Structure 1
Amino acid sequence: MTHHAFIHVQHLLGTGHAVRAVAIGKALAEKGIAVTLATGNTLPPTLDRAALEILDLPPVKSPDAVFDRLVTPDGREIDEAWKVRRRDKTLAAFQSRPFDLLLTETYPFGRRQFEFELAPLLAAARAAPRRPLIATSIRDILVRKQELWKEEWMADQALAHYDRILVHSDPDFVQLADSFPFADRVAPLVRYTGYVGGAARAVPPGTDGDDEVIISCGGGAVADGLLNAALDARPLSRRAGDATWRVLVGHDVSEEAFRAYRTRAGGGVIVERARPDFPGLLKRARLSVSQAGYNTVLDILIAGVPCVLVPFAQARETEQAQRADALAAHGRAVVASEKTLTPERLAAAIDDALALPRRQHPVRLGGAENSAQILLEDLRERIGASRA
């Protein structure tokens, strides 16, 4: 019997949430499960989603890092009519066939702005004649909330509606309790999957990446400070001023801004768009400079390359700073503050990072495949129990 899975994902600034959701969807598809992935985003062009049925929801994003407003791609504030359209499209798709698995990426541990859509989706799942397995997929570190009651609400929702919490980290490296004060309450539902990502990708052509400094920024929507400092830092570095610097500009950066970065680049600096062979570049590189997003840090850990992390820390964001500090505690990174970043400070951080011994921190991988296996075992257990 073919099982059907419904995955809901919504990223607001970065693309990491969608990258993980697609990876888990592909892993489920490889186990024979038919997967529908519902998303209100344009998926990154580097993602292979051929095995998935993509449901395009009305698109939405956050205009800034405060995350207290949601806007359409052309900048209009969403209204109640928009919410109704979005909710109805999600529910219609979910009710179009009997799904055996519902997986919500992040929610209820974030994305509370989408409660108008996700609360009815959970209610529909729980009311279905054949109730699906309900699971949530969360990254290694959650963004801390200023109000403790919001975090308690997350635990309450998980206990009330969910069968499984998949935490995509290596528990020897980062545990849920490191960023969630009610981790003990939900512990019976938690399974650590290892990090999602790290699959082999294309080998870079020629000598691209060899002994280079690779500067990257994920999608790039919030990386202007890092990119500007990096473009001027090469002549200031004692340990990397002789290397080629390759600046990878994300696809969320406009073509006009990309051309401006390229025009500003000095000698020894290459500016190009983000590449799918980025992990291969890191394996050849002398050093990585990046923000501290989930996928980038994973690629850095696997490559074993020295790194400078400039965690995105605007507004109330804490996630990247916590992740960067975890790497620094393992002697795997030098952290530079985004708020005080200058070309001089970035060059000094690069020199400090290159003084660290090159080492690999063994990290548990296979998070997508492990997630699919855990969910399949949960499904089989549920079906077995219903037949007993």
Structure 2
Amino acid sequence: MAAGGTGGHMVPAHALAEELMARGHKVSLITDDRGAKIPGLFGGVQVNILPAGRLAGGIFGWLKAGRNILAGRKQARAFYRQLKPAAVVGFGGYPALPALLAAQGAGIATAIHEQNAVLGRVNRLLARKVDAIATAYPQVDRLPPACASKVELVGNPVRDEVLALRDRPFPKSDAELNVLVTGGSQGATVLSSVVPDGLTLLPEPYRARLNIVQQCRAEDIDRVRARYAELGLKAELATYLPDLPERLASAHIVIARAGASTIAELTAAGRPAILVPLPSATDDHQTSNAREMAKEGGARMVPQGEFTPERLAREIEALGLEPDALAEAAAHARACGRPDATRALADLVERIARTPGMDKIAVTEKTVSAPVQGALA
């Protein structure tokens, strides 16, 4: 597996690794320094760290990136000669680039998995040469037309705890209206600023039933807590929600960004949402991520520039506040889910692998043997 050092790349790579190991295959990981430090992933798996470069910073930045990519490719080739992998699977992120370039030069089967609805920069560089392209959405922007024949829709793998929610009924909303607000590590401040005032604009019968759980940045939490107290709304705030799957299980409405993992979990569990895409996301990919769920009626999408308390209240009412309307929106969200994503991706990797027999090795890219110079821009 070859994956850059963010959770968005590493979590689906980890899910595939677990599935392949359960099928009797050996797995290795290639990543960067950041990926190596993400806790709870790839325990007991051989990890290989390659130098990667960030294609930014003017001509000198590009030259440095080029040197790091060439060095990473050389190290990956030496690694493959020892390991003799059946396939190398890239999940995006800049460390994946030298790993897949080395595999292609060595005649090893290659595939990429794109978590977003816009093909990422590294995957765009690799798309024409890989054997297969696995996607998480039926429509993926910036995908070269010449690559259409090797695209397979598999979905985006999610944690087992979230996948288990798919078999649980949507919670009744007669007594309480549970709202979960999660902005992740990026850009949660705008949600903290808008959501309290937006929820207080809901009609009184609904406002009185609100039970709010909100993830906030540490620098925002005291301000947000004071604002909820001033508005008389019941809210539980935290900078981190270790029991997020259980919180998601009891939620009637989720207010969130539109990252690939967020969308995958919402659709796997079947939870209606108000989505506020992060405008600074590369290629505005979060807006594209939200497109399918919003089109099918499982979510309402609001651009951040239009995200005001008044707009939030209107969108929540449009999504539906009555139990039947919420349950219907939840069903639409669930219909967008692809619960077999991990299995489908593993099937694809087994099909393209060129080494016969059961002693196959999937290489997950992890780049750490030299100081990381950054990710490709």
TM-score norm. by structure 2 comes to: 0.73
Cα distance, 1:181–1:54 mapped onto 2, change above 3 Å: closer
1:291 match: 257
Change (3 A) 1:163 1:275: same
Task: Tell me the distance in 2 between the aligned counterparts of 1:340 and 1:261.
Answer: 20
User: In the alignment, does 2:81 pair up with 1:99?
Assistant: no
The residue number in structure 2 matching 1:224 is 189
Determine the structure 2 residue equivalent to 1:246. 213
Deviation digits for residues 233-281 of structure 1 (CA, Å, limit 9, x no counterpart): 33222234531111124xxx5x445555556553412111333432332
Residue type of the alignment partner of 1:32: G
Confirm or deny that 1:236 pairs with 2:201.
yes
Alignment correspondent of 1:318: 284
Question: Residue 142 of structure 1 aligns to a residue in which SS?
Answer: coil
Identity across matched positions, percent? 20
Q: How many angstroms apart in 2 are the aligned matches of 1:237 and 1:104?
A: 45
2:157 is aligned to 196
Give the letter aligned to residue 221 of structure 1.
Q
How many matched pairs? 330
The 1:82/1:374 distance shift into structure 2, 3 A limit, reads closer
**Letter paired with 1:27:** E
Residue 330 of structure 1 deviates from its aligned partner by 1.1
Aligned-partner Cα distance in 1 for 2:53–2:238:
27
Question: Unpaired runs of 5+ in structure 2?
Answer: 166-170, 358-377
In 2, Cα distance between equivalents of 1:135 and 1:272: 39
Whole-angstrom CA distance in 1 between matches of 2:17 and 2:41: 11
Output one character per residue of 1:58-88: Cα deviation in whole Å (capped at 9) or x when no partner: 6989xxxxx9669xxxxxx967557645753
Gaps of 5+ in 1: 1-6, 62-66, 71-76
Distance 1:25 1:186 in 2: 25
Identify which range, 22-31 or 307-316, moves more after superposition: 307-316
* Per-residue Cα deviation, 1:288-315 (whole angstroms, up to 9, x for no partner): 1111122212222233333211122237
The residue aligned with 1:74 is none
Contact 1:310-1:335 at 8 Å conserved across structures:
yes
Q: Distance in 2 between matches of 1:8 and 1:122?
A: 8
For residue 318 of structure 1, give the secondary structure of its aligned residue in structure 2: helix
The CA deviation string for residues 33-67 of structure 1, in whole angstroms up to 9 with x for no partner, is: 32222223257867443243333556989xxxxx9
8 Å CA contact 2:194–2:307 kept in 1: the answer is: yes
The CA deviation at 1:93 is: 4.9
The 8 Å contact of residues 287 and 354 in structure 1, kept in 2 or not, is answered as: no
Partners of 2:9 and 2:97 in 1: how far apart? 20
Separation of aligned partners in 2, 1:375 and 1:350: 41
Q: Distance in 2 between matches of 1:306 and 1:144?
A: 27
The 5-angstrom pairing of residues 164-175 of structure 1 reads: 164-169=132-137, 174-175=138-139
Give the Cα separation in 2 of the matches to 1:256 and 1:317: 28
Pick one of 330, 333, 350 that aligns with 2:299: 333
Question: What is the rounded CA distance, in whole Å, between the counterparts of 2:50 and 2:208 in structure 1?
Answer: 47
Distance 1:143 1:125, change over 3 A: closer
Please identify which structure carries the higher helix content: 2
Query: Which residue is equivalent to 1:182?
Result: 144
In the alignment, what sits opposite 2:241?
A: 275
Query: Is 1:167–1:190's contact at 8 Å kept on the other side of the alignment?
Result: yes
SS of the equivalent of 1:200 reads helix
Match of 2:102 in 1: 124
Give the distance between the partners of 2:68 and 2:284, measured in 1 at CA: 33
Q: Offset of 1:227 from its aligned partner?
A: 2.5
Given that residues 26 and 52 in structure 1 are in contact (C-alpha distance below 8 angstroms), is that contact kept between their aligned partners in structure 2? Answer: no
TM-score scaled to structure 1, two decimals? 0.71
Aligned to 2:327: 358
Query: CA–CA distance in 2 between the matches of 1:351 and 1:292?
Result: 20
Distance 1:123 1:246, change over 3 A: closer
The residue number in structure 2 matching 1:54 is 47
Aligned 1:142-153 pairs, distance under 5 A? 142=118
CA distance in 1, matches of 2:144, 2:63: 32
Q: Helix, strand or coil: the match of 2:11? A: helix
